[in-house]
Amino acid sequence: AKCNFCAHRVDAGLEPACVVVCPTHSIWVGDLDDPESGISRLVNTNPVTVRAPEQQTGPNVFYLGADRAVLDPLAAPVDESYIFSRPDAHRAEVSAQLPTDPVSGARTTLNTAHPRPWGWRVTTYLWTKAVAAGAMMLAALAHLLGVELGAVGDVVAPVVGLAGAAVTGVLLVWDLKRPERFLFIFLKPNPTSWLFWGAAVLAIASGLFFAWLVFALLGMDAVLTGLAVPTAIAAALTAGYTAFLFGQAEGRDLWQSPLLFWHLLVQALMVGSAPLVLAAAVLGGVDDAGRNLLVGTLAVATVAHLVMVLLEYLGRHSTRNAGAAAHLVTRGRYARTFWLGGIGLALVGAVLAGLGWTGPLLAAVAGGLVVQVALLAYESVFVRAAQDVPLS
Q: Which helix (H) or strand (E) holds 48?
A: strand 48-49
Least distance from C-beta 9 to ligand SF4, angstroms?
Answer: 7
Residue 4 interacts with ligand SF4 (CB under 6 A): yes or no = yes
Using CB under 6 A, which of the segments 2-10, 156-164, 183-191, 333-341 binds ligand SF4?
Answer: 2-10
Alpha-carbon Rg for the chain, nearest whole angstrom, is 25
Chosen residue from 1, 11, 14, 16 binding ligand SF4 by CB under 6 A: 16
> Measured from the CB atom, is 28 or 194 closer to ligand SF4?
28
Q: How far is the CB of 5 from ligand SF4 (least distance, A)?
A: 5
For ligand SF4, the closer of residues 42 and 151 by Cβ is 42
Closer of 18 and 218 to ligand SF4 (Cβ) = 18
Closest to 269 measured CA to CA, from 244, 235, 246, 245: 235
CB of 388 to ligand SF4, least distance (A): 25
Least distance in angstroms from the C-beta of 43 to ligand SF4: 17
Taking the least distance from each CB to ligand SF4, the nearer of 9 and 121 is 9
β-strand partners of 64:
48
Q: Does 5 bind ligand SF4 (CB under 6 A)?
A: yes
Q: Which of the ranges 15-23, 56-64, 110-118, 295-303 carries the binding residues for ligand SF4, by CB under 6 A?
A: 15-23
Count other Cβ atoms within 10 Å, centred on residue 392: 12
Least distance in Å: CB of 352 to ligand SF4? 55
Q: Which is nearer to ligand SF4, 30 or 150 (CB)?
A: 30
- The C-alpha angle with vertex 304 and arms to 238 and 257, in degrees rounded to 5, equals 60
Binding of ligand SF4 by 6 (CB under 6 A) = yes
Q: Which is nearer to ligand SF4, 39 or 144 (CB)?
A: 39
What's the min distance (Å) between Cβ of 390 and ligand SF4? 19
Q: HSE (CB half, 13 Å, CA atoms) of 71?
A: 16
Residue 8 or 336: which CB sits closer to ligand SF4? Answer: 8
Q: Which of residues 17-36 bind ligand SF4 (CB under 6 A)?
A: 17-18
Number of Cβ within a 10 Å radius of residue 215: 19
Closest distance of CB 11 from ligand SF4, Å: 12
63 contributes a contact to ligand SF4 by CB under 6 A: no
Q: Which candidate, 88, 51, 45, places its Cα nearest to that of 72?
A: 51
Identify whether the C-beta of residue 325 lies closer than 8 Å to the C-beta of residue 388: yes
Contact flag: residue 3 with ligand SF4 (CB under 6 A) = yes
Tell me which stretch binds ligand SF4 (CB under 6 A): 16-24, 61-69, 115-123, 211-219.
16-24
| SS3 assignment, position 64 | strand
Q: Give 84: exposed, middle or buried? Use CB within 10 Å, 0-12, 13-18, 19+.
A: exposed
Part in contact with ligand SF4 (CB under 6 A); list of ranges 10-18, 89-97, 214-222, 358-366: 10-18
State how far the Cα of 299 lies from the Cα of 278, in Å rounded to an integer. 14
Q: From the CB of 61, what's the least distance to ligand SF4, in Å?
A: 10
The residue among 29 and 170 lying less far from ligand SF4, judged by its C-beta, is 29
Min separation Cβ 144 and ligand SF4, Å: 55
Spacing of C-alpha 378 from chain mean position: 11
Give the shortest CB-32-to-ligand SF4 separation in angstroms: 15
CA distance 376 to 305: 13
Task: Work out the burial of residue 247: count CB atoms within 10 Å of its CB; fewer than 13 is exposed, 13-18 middle, 19 or more buried.
Answer: middle
The CA–CA distances, whole Å, from 39 to 25, 31, 33, 70, 114 equal: 12, 7, 10, 21, 29
Q: Are 88 and 341 in contact (CB under 8 A)?
A: no
Strand (E) or helix (H) holding 325 = helix 320-330
Start-to-end Cα distance in the chain = 10
Measured from the CB atom, is 109 or 225 closer to ligand SF4? 109
Q: Which stretch binds ligand SF4 (CB under 6 A): 11-19, 45-53, 76-84, 202-210?
A: 11-19
Enumerate binding residues for ligand SF4 (CB under 6 A): 3-6, 16-18
